[in-house]
Structure 1
Amino acid sequence: MMLLPTEAIGSIPRSPELMHAQRQFDEGKIDAATMEALYGEAIEQTIRAFEATGSPILSDGEQRKSHNFVTYSVEGAKNLAPDGLEIPFQDGHVRRLPRLTAGPFHFLLNAYKTFSVAKRFTALPLKQSIISISALSLLYPAESLPNYSREEFLNDLVDEQEREIRGCFEAGAYKVQIDFTEGRLAIKLDPSGGLLNAFIELNNRVLTRFSEEERALIGIHTCPGADHDSTHSADVDYAELLPSLFELKAGNFYIAMAGEANPERALKIVARYLKPNQRAFIGVIDVIDPAIETPEEVCQRVLLAARYIPLEQLGTTDDCGFSPFCDDVSTTRETAFAKIRARVLGTAMAAEQLTNEQGMLHE
C-alpha cells in the first residue's frame, strides 16, 4: 500500500496523577527517585497509547520534560532568575522565561537521556523533540553579563545543541525535531525581521555541523504557540516567516496549518519556497480546537495540501504539540490521542485516493 508519511509533533497532555506528583515533587513531598519512576510509568503509558492510534512514528509525549518544552534542559540551574522575557498570549495569559544571571551556560538535562527511557518500551521508530537554541538565546539579558559575553553564551549554546542532537541519534532516534515556535513570535517582537534573521543564522550554526545525510533526519517545527487553547503569534502573516524558514538547513519542516485562517494561501507560500531536498509536514489537526476531527476532514486537508506541494515532499502532522506546558489542562489525553488517530486514518485515506487518481505515490 502506498502511504504519505505522518508524524506527531511530540507533546501529549500529562495525566492528572503525573501533574499532582510533579507538584508534590516541587514542594519536596516526594523524592527524585520516586519522581523518576513515575516519569518512566508515564512514558510507557504514552508509548502504549501512541501505538494504539496506529502511528508509524512514536514520541515519548515529552512526559519527562517536567514543566515545559522550552526550559527542560536548564531546570534547576543556579544561574537563572525568574524575571526574564514575557510572552503574552491572545487570551491574556503570559508565560515568562527565566533570565540568565551569570555564565557559563550548560544543559543540565539532555533529551537523549530521556529518549533512552522511551526506547525500552517499543520497537517502533521514535522521534525526539528538542527546543531550539534560538529560543534559549532569549534567556540572555539585554545588558551584558560580567565576564560572560553574549557571543560566549551563543557559542556555548551551539556546542550544547550539537551534543544533544548527536546524543539523540546515538541513542537510536529515528528523527530529531527542533521546536522553533519562536520563529513567528520573532516577527512580532521585531517587525523589521532582524530578530528572525538572527534566529535563522544561529540555528544554522548548529545545522551546518551535520552532514547532508544527517540533516535529512533533522526537522524544524513552527507554529504560533498552543497553550491553554491560545496562541502568541497567530496574527503574524505567514508570508513574513515562511520564506526565511526554508533557509534553515534541515530536511523536514513541520508547519501548523489546520488552524490558519487562510490555509490555501499559506500552502501556496510553502510551495513557492520549499527546496527540492526538503519535506513539508503540513498540520492537519488543530490542537487548540476541542472538536475532534474526522478522518474525512483530515483527508480533505491533505488533498488541499497535495494541490500545491509535490507528493514526494509532502507529509502530515499536528499543528503543534498537545499541552506543551505541564499546567495546561485544556486538552485531555483522550482527546489528543483521538485527534492523532484521526490524522493517521485521514492521511491513509488521502494517500489511497491520491494513489488511485494519480498513481504518483510509491512505497
Structure 2
Amino acid sequence: MRIPTEPIGSVPRPAYLIEAMGEFAAGRIDAAALAEYRDKALAETIARFTETGSPVVTDGEQGKPSFATYPLAGLASLAPDGVVIPFADGHTRQLPRLTAGPFRYATHADEYLRAAKALTELPVKQAVIAASAVSLIYPPDGIDGYSREAFTADLVDQAEADIRRCLDAGADSVQLDFTEGRLSLKLDPSGGLLQSFVDLNNQVLGRFSAEERARIGVHTCPGGDQDSVHSLDVDYAGLLPALFSLDAGRFYLQLASEPDPRRVLDIVRTYSRPEQRIFVGVTDPVNPVVETAEQVRDRVLLAAEYLPADRLGTCDDCGFSPFADDTSTSRDIAFAKITARVEGTRLATE
C-alpha cells in the first residue's frame, strides 16, 4: 500500500517572473516577452518538483495572476471595486466586480495543464477555482438586463467546462480551490452563505459521473497570503459537516497549522463518507520553519488513528503563493517543505 501525496497548487514565482509581470502590467513589455519568462519559470518549476521525488506535480501556478482570478484575465466587463477579503495581519485582497453579461471565462485552466504536461512524464494535477468563489464577482445590487439567475446559469456552465477540459486533457486529478468556505462562516456565522456555496458547487459537480468525481477534489484552508490567513479563527466544526456534503471524491484539508488536530480528525471521521479520500495537510506554508520528514511522518500516523490508511493521503496545508506578487516565502523553502512531505509520507507508509 502506498499513501498518496500531492501538492496543492502554487509555488512562489521566480523574481524575474514577478518583475516581468509588473513590466507587462505597466506596458513596458509585450505578451510574447512575458510568455518567455513564464515558460522559463514553468520549466524550472517542473524540474524542481521532479527533484523532490513528488509522484504528482503541478504547474506551480506560474502563469496565473492568482489562483482565484485566472478565468477573468482579459475580460473587459469588470470593474476593480469588488469584494474585499481582509487578512489577519491587516492587508487585504480585492476581487473585481462584474459589470455586464453574459459571463464567460476568458482563460481555462487546461491551458496551464497542457503546458505542464508537455514538460514531464509524471502525473499532473490541475487546480481550478470553485464556482462559489467566482460567484462573488456578481454585485449585490445586480446588473441591469442580467439577473443573478442568468449569471449563475452561465457560471455553472463555465465552471463545468473548466473542470471537464482538464479531465479531457489528461489531468491526474482536478482540485477545486474552496478557501472561501471557511471565510463564509466569518462573513455569515449562521452558515447560510456556506450552504449556498455548497449548493452552487454541487450544481457543477452533479454534471459529472461517479467515475469522474473520483478524480475531482476540493481543497479548503483558512487562506494563505503574505504569511497571513483570513479565517483560521473560524472553528473547523462549522465547516466540515457541510464540506463533506460536496459530491467530490477527494478532499485536501489544511491540518498542520491547526492547534488541535485530533479534534479536527475526529470531526472528519464522523462526517466524511467512505468513498471520500482525505488528504491531510502535513506542511504549513505560512510557517517559514521547514518541517522534518519525521514530523510529517508523525502527522500522518496521527491521522491514521482516525481514518483507514486506504482513505488517507497527504498534502500541503495550502498553496505557497496563491497570488502572483506574494514573495513572503522563497522557492527554496517551498521545495524543502515539499521534499519533507514526500519523504515523511514514505516513512509513514513504511
Please report the TM-score for the alignment, with normalisation by the length of structure 1: 0.96
- Pairing of 1:218-237 with structure 2 (within 5 A): 218-237=216-235
Letter of the structure 2 residue corresponding to residue 265 of structure 1: R
1:205 aligns with 2:169: no
* SS in structure 2 at match of 1:73: helix
Deviation at 1:76, TM superposition (A): 2.5
Q: Distance in 2 between matches of 1:319 and 1:286?
A: 5
Deviation at 1:104, TM superposition (A): 1.1
RMSD value, Cα: 0.7
Deviation at 1:81, TM superposition (A): 0.7
1:359 maps to which residue? none
Q: Distance in 1 between matches of 2:19 and 2:34?
A: 11
Q: Distance in 2 between matches of 1:41 and 1:105?
A: 32
Q: Distance in 2 between matches of 1:188 and 1:145?
A: 26
Deviation at 1:44, TM superposition (A): 1.0
Q: Distance in 2 between matches of 1:51 and 1:175?
A: 18
2:258 maps to which residue? 260
* SS in structure 2 at match of 1:241: helix
> Which consecutive segments of 4 or more residues in structure 1 shift more than 3 A?
none
Aligned length, in residue pairs: 350
2:56 maps to which residue? 57
2:110 maps to which residue? 112
Q: Distance in 2 between matches of 1:120 and 1:328?
A: 27
Q: Distance in 2 between matches of 1:337 and 1:109?
A: 28
1:11 maps to which residue? 10
Unaligned runs of 5+ in 2: none
- Pairing of 1:136-155 with structure 2 (within 5 A): 136-155=134-153
Query: Structure 1 residues 24-33 or 238-247, which shifts more?
Result: 24-33
Please report the TM-score for the alignment, with normalisation by the length of structure 2: 0.99
Q: Distance in 1 between matches of 2:263 and 2:210?
A: 30
Deviation at 1:3, TM superposition (A): 1.7
Determine if contact 2:16/2:37 at 8 Å carries over to the other structure: no
Q: Distance in 2 between matches of 1:189 and 1:151?
A: 22
Q: Distance in 1 between matches of 2:293 and 2:111?
A: 35
1:129 aligns with 2:127: yes
Q: Distance in 1 between matches of 2:177 and 2:285?
A: 16
Q: Distance in 2 between matches of 1:329 and 1:58?
A: 21
* SS in structure 2 at match of 1:87: strand
Unaligned runs of 5+ in 1: 353-363
1:188-235 per-position Cα deviation (integer Å, ceiling 9, x unaligned): 111110000000000000101000000000000000000011000000
Q: Distance in 1 between matches of 2:34 and 2:317?
A: 30
* SS in structure 2 at match of 1:345: helix
2:20 maps to which residue? 21
- Percent identical residues: 57
2:303 maps to which residue? 305
1:271 maps to which residue? 269
